[in-house]
Each structure stands twice: as structure tokens, then as C-alpha cells.
Amino acid sequence: MVYCQRSWKVARKLSSINFAAAIGNHGIVCKHFINTGILELSQEVQKALKYGSPLVALESTIITHGMPYPFNLRTAQSVEQIVRDGGGVPATVAVFDGKIHVGLTTNQLERLATCKDALKTSRRDLAWSVSQGKVGGTTVAATMIAAHLAGIRIFVTGGIGGVHRGGHNSMDISSDLTELGRTPVAVVCAGAKSILDIGRTLEYLETQGVTVATYGDSKYFPAFFAPASPYLSPCNISNATEAAQVFATNESLELNSGVLIAVPIPECNAKDSIQVEHAIQEAIAEAEHKVQVGKDVTPYILKRVNEITGGKALEANIALVKNNAKVGTEISVEYSKIRAQKSYRIGSKGGNSTQHSYRGRQSSKVARRPVVVGASIYDLNVMTYGTDVIYGGTTNPGSIQQGVGGVGRNIADCLSRLDVDPLFISVVGDDIEGQSLMSQSNHMDTSCITVLIGERTASYCAGLNGSGDVFLGVGDAKICDQITPELVSGYKEVISQAPLVCIDGNIPRDTIQYVCDVCNDHNIPIWYEPTCALKAIKPFETNAGKFLTYVSPNLRELRQMYAAVEGHQPQSVHDEDMSLTDIIRECHHLCSVLISHGLHCIILTLGPDGILVCRNTEPEDMFPCSYVTRRDESAMSMASLLHYPACSEVHLPGEVVSVSGAGDCLASGVMAGILQGHEPDICIKGGLLAANHSIRSLKTVPDSIRSQDFSVESIKNWAPWTPACIL
């Protein structure tokens, strides 16, 4: 009696979901089911949901019932990797130990693939399998339910169930079809399995109000192993952008039904489709003879088809699933971009609302998130073993390490690690470097990174000597010219509501001008990271420079900025011949001129000599955030100049290996403090702490930067000293 009562309770909770309100309230629903212990999201999925990264749900009956071991495990792992390589986060769904798991660990995948008594779990089976602690492979229907509860909108599978042959008499109709009619999830598949009655399946989907579209050039609905059936699809979708737009519109209309996107199996994998079809007919006849009924029919037929074809059907099955994963990930990436531009608006049925907000602060229309506009760059660090570099074509012994970077990306990365939720606007190419960069950014919000077809991802090669200093840098950032005002204008509303906007010097001058104009119109503070001496002057070549609030140059970049403002060529100076006192005296003059032209704050990096903080206000005055008053003549002169040492007496573990990411992490740490409302001294010291983490790693933004180590108390303990007041 107890087990029946528990099943009933779970069933009531599962069936009580108000799917009509899910567009606005899925976060609340998801939290409810997590709190009741029914839904278990992996950490990777939780991060992706937090940052709005593209997510792709994956079913698990293909693992438990669709393929033999070890093909099932290898395929599942390959499909997850395809999703990651495409810039998405895989979320395989299964039932374990009384919970619906969304996102599986390696051990859980292995357990699922080797389980001999896993249940084939559809909607009707969820309550039973969860309440009894069973292992269950989720069907299309059950996976749609779990994905929807978790807030995942794109789901990839092999093929859907449908109306079985003779179903008009037996009423053997898959619950996949009814689920598509009541759960707003986009299902990417290779059509219906050809063992089904495809004509009646399409008729039933029409009755359920499901949008059905074939993906690509064909107008015919695919038949799983065959790229086309005799039946026309109601709609045709040419590419991932169109597919994402269709589903987003389906959501906007609150139709509360799914969208079925049927992707034909690639022609190269369909060459044996005639042989497979003959095998299907033979297997169907056997199934009828053996009186196979219900949910056992499909697994039996697929197993026999594979046996009859000598494994060719399995090869085709694996190929089409992988292809679906590639297409589904592309759709999820495009859908995330649409959500990033439109889903910040509040409001849903019933008066409830959810939004991505920065630390709970909400505007009446748009979630207030800091915005970073800049480069995403694939890095190659070449480090010599000695401090003296040998020139003249001689090979220097050393090491080579690949990584990800770009000033804008580094800042967005570091802010994300410090529990600030930035919107990052950038571009990458559709190449291996771009895929690698996206796959290493799952902890960030990558929904506004545009993948440009036919373009090369920006790349940078840094030559580092044994001390970690850069002696040569070679960059190919031509793709950054595609970060145009037109591209950025798609995020104008979010920019106009941001508490802070950061731009780097890699983006074009007209884009810098556009962002500065938008921020000026709405009094949004702007942080400019110069990137290098040649790009430092970009804002000052137009009137954008007078709208900047913060800049974070090194001494060479500061000299370039000063020369641009004063209208003359920068003088050649040998810094090694200057004392720190002479350098500070020069910086005092240069910064005074720049602040007189409208800058509020200059954070000047001096390498091992620390940083100078030059402001138009007193040192204890809070840094401008969310709103900045411009053109105040009384605040256009330098009022304070502080010198901070580079390191604390409290040393972090590890030696200095690279300084290439120190400036970006410094800026990020200061920004995070500003956005969190900390006092200026804590903001600066937090930036220095982040920079000290960076110089001890070849990764520009190391994993050691964690928000829990950047509390006010932690920063005070690391840097208990008071900076030197120069002015």
C-alpha cells in the first residue's frame, strides 16, 4: 500500500505542472522540483542555465534499449562531445535512484549503458520508476518532460515514435506524439522510424497542433534510415537560424506545443536504406508472429534489423544521431542568441515573472547585467626556458601551450568566475579554434557570441621568456572587424540598462563610437581596456573618448592616449632609464590632462612596480556604477593619485610564469568590486589579487580565481596595507 501511495504523490506532482506558464515560470518550476528531490541537475547544466548557455537535452532509451554495449556508451559519449564542440552543453536525461537526472556524469553513463534491467520510461512510467528507485532510460516523451521542467528548450534524439502499422485498429500510438502536442520543446530527429505508419503519424501530429518541418533542401518527411519518405512535410526550414526563429515564435505565441524538426540522414549514410527497408519488413513479420506488443515492439524490431543487415543498420543509426546532435546544437546556439536579445523582458501569464538579474536588482523592463564587448581569441603561448632569447633563426628550447583569450573574453571569463553575470558580445569563426574556444567557455554566458561561417577565429601567439614577460606578440584579429554597430545594435536595450559596459580595443572605431553614444544617452559608465599601444587611441580619434569613465592602460598605452588627446606624436622614452619617482611624476602629468578631458578614473599598470589609481574625486568616494553624471566641469581635474604595490606580503602558491593575462584580471577584479558595491580600496585590492592569480598560470584567467576567495574579508587579509597617497 505504501508504494502505491508514493507513486500517486509523485504522479500528482508531475501532472500538476502548468505548462502554459512555463515560458515565464520554468525557473520557479525547476526550483520546486529540485527542492522536492525529484529533479537532479548536474553542475554543468546548472551553470549553463545560470549563464544562458546553449543547452541540448538528450534521451537515454537509445542507450538502454537502442544499441548494444559498448556501442551505446561510445555513441552517447560521442554525441555529448559533438554538442560541446558546437558550443553547447549536453544534458542527457535518465532516471536513477528515485530522481530524474538532467545531465549525467561519466560514471552514470557507464552505469546506464551496462544496466541489464533498465526500464523503458515514458510519461506513464515516470512516477513508478522514480518512486521505486529504478534505473530508467527516458523516451522522447519522458525526456521532453524532464527538459521542460529543467528549462531546456532544444532536445535531440534519433527518431520519434508514432502510429504503428495497423494502429488505426490496435490504437498503438506512441505517447511521443501526444507529448509533442502539450510540451513546448523543440525536438530534433531523423523523422519517424520507418517501421511505423508515417502517413498516419503526420496526421496525428496535425491533430495535436504540432509544427512539423523538414530541415534542409528536401520537402519530404524523412524516414529515419531513409532521407525521404513518400510524404510531404507541412513546412521546410533551411538552416539553424530559421529553426530557432520558428521555435521562439512558437513560444511567443504561447501555443504550449512542441516543434518537430526532422533532419534527413546524410546521403552518405543512407546508401544501404533499401537493404534496411527489406530487413524492416522481415523483422515486422517476425514480431507479429512472435506476438510482440506494446513498448517491446520497437526495440525488438531494431535489434532484428541490425542482425539481418549485418550491423549496417546500427552504423546508420549512429551516424544519423550524430548528425542530429550537430544540427540540434546549431539550433540551440541560435535560439540562445534570440533569448539573449529578447528574454530579458519581464512578464508572463498570471503576473509571475522571472529574469536574469544582476544580484537581484531588476529594472521594470530589462534585466540589468554588465556588458562586455570585445574579442574572443585562440591563444598560443610559446615560452623559452631561458631569460635570454636567441634570435637569428636559431631554435629556442621551450614549451608551447594552447589556450583561449582575447581581452574582452578574458574579462567576461573572470567576471563570471567572480559571480558577476556579464553579457559578452563577440564573434568566432566556424573552425576548430572557434569550437575549442566555445567548448572551454561553458562556465560563461556564450549566447551572444556569433559564429561566422567561413571566417577564421581570431588568434594570437605570444612569445614569453623564462621570466614570463612577453617579448613578441603576433595576432590575427581580422574577424573582430565583424563586431559591427549593426551586430551590437541587436543588444541595444540591454546595453542601455547595464550597470557598467566594458569595451576592448580590438573592436572597430565605429563600434566603439556606437557603444559610447548609447551609453552616453543613458548615462551608463564605460570601461575601456586599450589592448595595446596601437589600439589605445581608438576612442580619442573620435569624440567617443570624452564619454569614457574608466581606462586601464599601461604606461606605453597612456602615452599614446595623451598624445592623441593633445594632438601630437608620442615621444620615445626608455623606461628602464627612469626611476619609479620619475615615472610617477610623468604619469601624474599625463593623467591630469586625460582627466581634464572628461575621464573619471585611470587605473595605470606599472608591471612589477604596481599600479597608480588616478581619479577626479577623493580616494574614498565610491566608483561610478549604474549611473554617471557627465560634463561636470568641477570634476574635470585630478583630485587623487594613489600608488598600490603589485604584490602582497601574503604570497599565493606558485611562481610567476606569465603576465599576459594580469591586466585583464586586474580590470575584472576591480569591475567586480564596483558592481558588488565595495569600497574603492577593496575594489583595487581585489583586482590586484586576481592579477596575482593570473601571473602564476599559463592560463590568462586561471581556475584558481573563485568567488569564495574574493570576499571583502579575504581581500583584506591578503592585502592589509594602505596604499601610498601621491596626491
Enzyme catalytic residues = 59, 193
Give helix then strand counts, H and E, for the chain. 25, 25
Strands 724-725 and 640-644, bridge-based pairing? antiparallel
The contacts of residue 567 (CB under 8 Å, 6+ apart) are: none
3-class secondary structure, 141: helix
Q: How many CB atoms lie within 10 A of CB 625?
A: 18
Among all chains, which residue has been given the C-alpha cell 542482425?
A: 307
CA pair distance 190, 225, nearest whole angstrom = 8
Main-chain phi, psi angles of 442, to 5 degrees:
-65, -20
* C-alpha grid cell, residue 252: 511567443
Q: How far is residue 652 CA from its own chain's centroid? A: 30
CA pair distance 723, 640, nearest whole angstrom = 12
CA pair distance 283, 156, nearest whole angstrom = 26
* C-alpha grid cell, residue 670: 576591480
Q: Can you name the residues that pair with 643 across neighbouring β-strands?
A: 612, 724
Q: How far is residue 347 CA from its own chain's centroid? A: 24
Radius of gyration in angstroms for the set of CA atoms belonging to the chain, rounded to a whole number: 29
Q: Of the candidates 62, 102, 54, which has an alpha carbon nearest to the alpha carbon of residue 78?
A: 62
The contacts of residue 386 (CB under 8 Å, 6+ apart) are: 396, 397, 465, 466
CA pair distance 551, 251, nearest whole angstrom = 42
CA pair distance 546, 603, nearest whole angstrom = 17
Among all chains, which residue has been given the C-alpha cell 548528425?
A: 323
Residue type, 20: A
* C-alpha grid cell, residue 114: 551496462
3-class secondary structure, 512: helix
Q: How far is residue 96 CA from its own chain's centroid? A: 27
Strands 89-96 and 423-429, bridge-based pairing? unpaired
Buried b (16+ CB within 10 A) or exposed e, 673-692: bbbbebebbbbbbbbbbbbb
Q: Of the candidates 667, 534, 657, 516, which has an alpha carbon nearest to the alpha carbon of residue 604?
A: 667
Residue 615 vs residues 592, 620, 640: alpha-carbon distances, Å: 9, 10, 5
CA pair distance 491, 445, nearest whole angstrom = 14
Cβ–Cβ < 8 Å for 601, 614 = yes
Q: Which helix (H) or strand (E) holds 188?
A: strand 186-189
* C-alpha grid cell, residue 688: 590586484
Cβ–Cβ < 8 Å for 727, 638 = yes
CA pair distance 555, 561, nearest whole angstrom = 10
Main-chain phi, psi angles of 275, to 5 degrees:
-65, -40
Cβ–Cβ < 8 Å for 331, 55 = no
Residue type, 541: E
Residue type, 84: R
Buried b (16+ CB within 10 A) or exposed e, 551-588: bbbbbbbbbbbbbbbeeeebeeeeeeeeeeeebbebbe
Among all chains, which residue has been given the C-alpha cell 614549451?
A: 399
Q: Of the candidates 86, 703, 700, 106, which has an alpha carbon nearest to the alpha carbon of residue 436?
A: 86
Cβ–Cβ < 8 Å for 373, 425 = yes
